[in-house]
Amino acid sequence: MAPKMSDYQKQLRRTDILDAAEEVFTERGYEHTTMKDIYESVGLSRGGLYQYFSNKQEVFETLIGDKLEEIHDRTSAALEEGEDPWNLLKERLFGEEKQPREKNDPLAPVILEFFVTGRNDLSISSFAKERYRLGVQMYANIIKKGAETGRFTPRFAPPVLARSIVAFTDGIAVDTALAGKEVRKKEQSELIYDTIIHMLKVQ
Q: What is the mean pLDDT of residues 59-84?
A: 95
Q: Is the pTM of this model over 0.85?
A: yes
**CATH for 49:** 1.10.10.60
At 171, is the secondary structure helix, strand, or coil?
A: helix
Q: Are 23 and 80 in a shared domain? A: no
Residue ranges of alpha helices (H) inside the chain are 7-28, 35-42, 46-50, 56-80, 85-94, 108-117, 122-149, 158-179, 185-200
CB neighbour list of residue 8: distance below 8 Å, 6 or more residues apart: none
Q: Are 94 and 186 in a shared domain? A: yes
CB atoms near residue 139 (< 10 Å): 23
| pLDDT tens digits, 28-41 | 999 999 999 999 99
Residue of higher predicted confidence among 59 and 97: 59
Q: Are 40 and 61 in a shared domain? A: no
Q: Are 73 and 111 in a shared domain? A: yes
The boundaries of the domain holding residue 43 are: 1-54
Q: Are 82 and 156 in a shared domain? A: yes
Q: Are 175 and 189 in contact (CB under 8 A)?
A: no
**CATH for 130:** 1.10.357.10
| pLDDT tens digits, 73-129 | 999 999 999 999 999 999 999 888 888 877 778 888 899 889 888 888 899 999 989
Query: Given this model, what pLDDT does residue 180 score?
Result: 67
| pLDDT tens digits, 147-189 | 999 999 999 999 999 999 999 888 877 777 776 677 787 888 8
Query: Given this model, what pLDDT does residue 119 score?
Result: 83
State the total domains in the chain: 2
Q: Are 89 and 50 in a shared domain? A: no
Q: What is the mean pLDDT of residues 17-21?
A: 96
| pLDDT tens digits, 189-200 | 899 899 999 999
Q: Are 102 and 11 in a shared domain? A: no
